Structure 1
């Protein structure tokens, strides 16, 4: 048996060995964090992309009717409604045909056929054909008010004093039918020039604006009319309202939705300040810690909790420096950002999130000759080569820590980008697939996007954001509601410095956290089909969604659904307008979510086609 001194020596030796091993592991994790992560988010994304595509024809039935939408060609380049309607129908996978007056005269009436008009300049002969189509069982959606008193009965109008000399603002729901627009505040951005009308007693009013009837439905003969008494549907941010009011017109309405939810954290990871600014004393006093400690131990810890509670996947996009010029090489960037990259990026990857690129610095990739809002105070780049150099340094920075990873998503600073910048990105980022900017906007130089492949850059996919902020103001709430309304989609972004900027609306993080969480929960409640995606995963799903097709057939007691190359799961919204109800039973192939209390609206997730959904006649059914 060893003496006490020998035992002490062995204990000290063992303790020393363990201490050395601990130091080695810590140092290794700092210098090579990727070695301690089993799979990076890109690998997880690749597995999600391999989901099978759905293909199967709707059940053939000689008595079945196929829904169709007809848009009356207006031959006017400045009619914004026409463009918005066409684009919305394409996203929704609703079959449509653009027709002229000759085809109008021979339209076949059906409760599943709907004619859409997008101009106030309808001739008497056109309206005569339209009235006959509706009277005999077709449907009409008036997307821009027309003033023709001899057709007031068709329009569901009792009296009409003509166009108002002043505009009306906002919308008020008078007959609830949609869970998202009921909670939308009276947004000043919604501006309409309307007619001074009194609607017929039999018409059903769904919306008004400052006391003016804005949208109603009216039965005319055997058909139904939806009348929008305004001009706002020419706005890109009105597409959701168009689709959600269109659903009130045909007997049944079946539309494809994406169900995609993407949440971005811009400017993260980034070099965070060591001290609070002079205007940030409230945070210093409340939390009694440095900005770096607060962001790591409070804010980021809360953001991870929110992701877990609300079922989110973040796409973080990082910045190397906030300096205007390229003053640091790739090696220097690695050293300066060692703490942020070794902790935040590793943590993001570990939780299944994605790390994308925001920029070498926060200067948009523009030259001095390219248009930009000068009040933003940005410094133009000298040339494309300098842009490319900065991007190369950031790629080097990421690969220093995560050699098997690469940037697949890029978010332009302030959502500003031009062709020169895209060319610089392509020259340095061979794996880049997604550019996420904004869907709509007024800032000069903004990179405004539609969802889909970039025609000029076929390897790049445009994945815009619709809303932003921990404090979701009136304008951003409208953007979020519109995206839900016509795409069944959330694409929202926040910044760490939202907490200390004017975007916070004067709230502290504890208040912003509650507001942000409530906002996300509200969206998920309204659209339970929403599922979390990183930007890379969303690009894969939406690419298939845009390429695929959906087929619908109606019989008296069923809806048959087929598809060609649609992603799994396929998501739909169904609205039944004549007192019918969906006789749904949950199965491994179909999940049905009833929406609202009246039994008329449903959201579905479908994992196998074809599917036949039984329909029963309710007490109010025709």
Structure 2
């Protein structure tokens, strides 16, 4: 009798194994990624457009400053930079020059901003100014005053009941209102500042927005109505830097029952050195946590976690391609031959809806002058301009050979260092580059450090600075992020794959801790910024173009607001701070950010808002 043996039971496991293998092969090796269409487009060069006046009408504000005081000059810069961003037209006046106070209060100004300590420079004229406020004017003290006879004459008009003669240092700041999105009743250590404030007590009618978090609850920012006018007072000598502009913006907006200003509305996450070479060997912390070497960690732990964040929080990563970590600064440049990992990570990022930009052939900044880079950074300098240009061209060629369907619109300088010479020729060497993304915060110690504003440069390059960095957001970066959110409605954040490998960047913490801290920040951002748009760097650049060119004029009363926009293309975004309740909007959309702050999406050059009766 013939025995019939069936092997059909083996078919299902073999089929499953084949399908899994095919899926892995497709993801990690062979299929071209899907390139997502951008949500916006680049605008035509400025010279081809009609450039209207960004800020229409006569100056609404007078900024008084003290030219002989260094802090006063720094404060003047922070104030005027902030007002420029908010599209507030202003005049400035040096209080050391001869003046007639009637020139201040009789020229149709709505606001006077005082940016200096010593009120004695106003002397008895301060009484005329406070009377002007009582009659309907508005005054912002953007820096805490010194205790002088002039201050003593007016302190009660500022809502102050009593004060001490000693200054107090603020160790921790408490956000007591919803003035800053997502920050109400949060505290931040102020160890990154050296703040001194007047120890004082306020009238019950004063509205406090920032205070010390200690038992004294020293008021740091408040508004106080006097007669028909309003004072806003910053009781601090700290807010003198670029990362403090949001405080000035928020304080200025409190002067009005309703105030509207333009914003960018963009959240971007950059991954520097990615795709790039994976360090060989193992790392002690990584091995202790996961029992894996660095390559296994990148492939099986770090990148799956980053993809999970992208899917759950809608992140649109911008990866910055680097070819090698060698330090060659003269040709010939050796092309990387082992490209499988570059293709795997790059394709995977593109499939998530992200984009790739250019970082460097290697990580040596584009500088030829050794004096422009501190020796402690350990970088060599390039042998010549031609060598720098060749290296960037080689990187671009490497990029398009791996990702032929990707346009490399963005360049990020290694270590955010870029010589003025290289900045000038980058658009000529790689014409595809439209966006340069370096750093928002200045570092004067590095001569070639490339700090930026959110703006469109005269050569057409769009400057899109990164604002904060790292997976674990420090108190300083949380402060900076909160300031930038209220000023531009922007989150611009960069990380590195090897942050966990670097003891200084990781603070000795492992990936589990860094991953959890990063997620906590993403949770905060999602809650703090309703309606913020997740974007790649190039899309962020497109949004910056529209913001930078936009002109804004508003006409508001208790019934509603009319917003008139010049240089309007297809969309614009604004924030409206108001004590009133919006009822309807025409020509746009409106999203509540906090009970007193609203995100307006303009769909037309004229937007009308009605308030509830």
CA drift at 1:463: 1.2
Query: How far apart, in 1, do the equivalents of 2:174 and 2:40 lie?
Result: 45
Query: How far apart, in 2, do the equivalents of 1:328 and 1:406 lie?
Result: 25
Q: How does 1:28-39 map to 2 (within 5 A)?
A: 36-37=32-33, 39=35
Q: SS of 2:223's equivalent?
A: strand
Q: Which runs of 5+ in 2 are unaligned?
A: 1-17, 94-98
Give the structure 1 partner of residue 5 of structure 2.
none
Query: How far apart, in 2, do the equivalents of 1:274 and 1:484 lie?
Result: 39
Query: How far apart, in 2, do the equivalents of 1:232 and 1:567 lie?
Result: 39
CA drift at 1:46: 8.2
Q: TM-score normalized by structure 2?
A: 0.83
CA drift at 1:214: 1.8
Question: Are residues 1:150 and 2:153 paired?
Answer: yes
Q: Which moved more, 1:151-160 or 1:283-292?
A: 283-292
Give the structure 2 partner of residue 87 of structure 1.
81
Q: 1:4-56: per-residue Cα shift (whole Å, max 9, x none)?
A: xxxxxxxxxxxxxxx9xx99xx89x969x6xx3454x6xx33854479x9x9x
Give the structure 2 partner of residue 8 of structure 1.
none
CA drift at 1:289: 3.8
Query: How far apart, in 2, do the equivalents of 1:218 and 1:339 lie?
Result: 63
Q: 1:135-175: per-residue Cα shift (whole Å, max 9, x none)?
A: 111211111223421112322222344463x6434422345
Shift of the 326–366 alpha-carbon distance from structure 1 to 2, 3 Å rule, reads closer
Give the structure 2 partner of residue 159 of structure 1.
162
Give the structure 2 partner of residue 485 of structure 1.
486
Give the structure 1 partner of residue 598 of structure 2.
602
Shift of the 87–177 alpha-carbon distance from structure 1 to 2, 3 Å rule, reads closer
CA drift at 1:462: 1.8
Give the structure 2 partner of residue 134 of structure 1.
133
Give the structure 1 partner of residue 262 of structure 2.
256
Check conservation: 2:555, 2:561, Cα contact below 8 A.
yes
Give the structure 1 partner of residue 536 of structure 2.
534
Shift of the 328–306 alpha-carbon distance from structure 1 to 2, 3 Å rule, reads farther
CA drift at 1:327: 8.2
Give the structure 2 partner of residue 505 of structure 1.
507
CA drift at 1:105: 2.8
Shift of the 302–334 alpha-carbon distance from structure 1 to 2, 3 Å rule, reads same
CA drift at 1:490: 0.6
CA drift at 1:125: 4.6
CA drift at 1:494: 0.4
Question: Are residues 1:571 and 2:567 paired?
Answer: no
Give the structure 1 partner of residue 470 of structure 2.
469
Give the structure 2 partner of residue 439 of structure 1.
440
Give the structure 2 partner of residue 292 of structure 1.
295
Give the structure 2 partner of residue 9 of structure 1.
none
Check conservation: 1:552, 1:562, Cα contact below 8 A.
yes
Task: Give the aligned CA root-mean-square deviation in angstroms.
Answer: 3.2
Check conservation: 2:133, 2:229, Cα contact below 8 A.
yes
Q: Which moved more, 1:90-99 or 1:497-506?
A: 90-99
Q: 1:456-491: per-residue Cα shift (whole Å, max 9, x none)?
A: xx1322211110111111222222112112111010
Check conservation: 1:529, 1:604, Cα contact below 8 A.
no
CA drift at 1:178: 3.2
Query: How far apart, in 2, do the equivalents of 1:422 and 1:66 lie?
Result: 36
Q: 1:406-460: per-residue Cα shift (whole Å, max 9, x none)?
A: 53211122112212332463453122222211111435232121121345xx132
Check conservation: 1:107, 1:133, Cα contact below 8 A.
no
Give the structure 2 partner of residue 5 of structure 1.
none
CA drift at 1:75: 4.5
Give the structure 1 partner of residue 418 of structure 2.
417
Q: 1:551-580: per-residue Cα shift (whole Å, max 9, x none)?
A: 211133111122122354422222223xx3
Q: SS of 1:380's equivalent?
A: coil
Q: SS of 2:321's equivalent?
A: strand
Query: How far apart, in 1, do the equivalents of 2:108 and 2:329 lie?
Result: 65
Shift of the 591–261 alpha-carbon distance from structure 1 to 2, 3 Å rule, reads same
Query: How far apart, in 2, do the equivalents of 1:591 and 1:393 lie?
Result: 46
Query: How far apart, in 1, do the equivalents of 2:387 and 2:568 lie?
Result: 42
Check conservation: 1:163, 1:195, Cα contact below 8 A.
yes
Q: SS of 1:387's equivalent?
A: helix
One of 36, 39, 62 as aligned partner of 1:70: 62
Q: SS of 1:447's equivalent?
A: coil
Q: SS of 1:224's equivalent?
A: strand
Question: Are residues 1:583 and 2:583 paired?
Answer: yes
Q: SS of 1:536's equivalent?
A: helix
Give the structure 1 partner of residue 279 of structure 2.
273
Check conservation: 1:329, 1:393, Cα contact below 8 A.
no
CA drift at 1:516: 1.2
CA drift at 1:67: 10
CA drift at 1:274: 3.5
Query: How far apart, in 2, do the equivalents of 1:228 and 1:96 lie?
Result: 20
Check conservation: 1:169, 1:189, Cα contact below 8 A.
no
Q: 1:383-403: per-residue Cα shift (whole Å, max 9, x none)?
A: 222222221221121122234
CA drift at 1:326: 5.0
Shift of the 529–569 alpha-carbon distance from structure 1 to 2, 3 Å rule, reads farther
Check conservation: 1:529, 1:605, Cα contact below 8 A.
no
Give the structure 2 partner of residue 393 of structure 1.
394
Query: How far apart, in 1, do the equivalents of 2:479 and 2:525 lie?
Result: 12
Question: Are residues 1:335 and 2:337 paired?
Answer: yes
CA drift at 1:238: 0.8
Query: How far apart, in 1, do the equivalents of 2:228 and 2:584 lie?
Result: 29
CA drift at 1:272: 0.4
Q: Which moved more, 1:391-400 or 1:245-254?
A: 245-254
CA drift at 1:333: 2.0
Query: How far apart, in 2, do the equivalents of 1:205 and 1:408 lie?
Result: 45
Shift of the 419–67 alpha-carbon distance from structure 1 to 2, 3 Å rule, reads closer
Give the structure 2 partner of residue 15 of structure 1.
none
Stretches (4+) displaced over 6 A: none
Give the structure 2 partner of residue 355 of structure 1.
356
CA drift at 1:329: 5.2
Q: SS of 1:560's equivalent?
A: strand
Q: Which runs of 5+ in 1 are unaligned?
A: 1-18, 58-64, 618-622
Query: How far apart, in 2, do the equivalents of 1:541 and 1:178 lie?
Result: 22
One of 38, 44, 62 as aligned partner of 1:45: 38
Q: SS of 1:232's equivalent?
A: coil
Give the structure 2 partner of residue 119 of structure 1.
116
Q: Which moved more, 1:267-276 or 1:126-135?
A: 126-135
Check conservation: 1:388, 1:427, Cα contact below 8 A.
no
Check conservation: 2:64, 2:112, Cα contact below 8 A.
yes
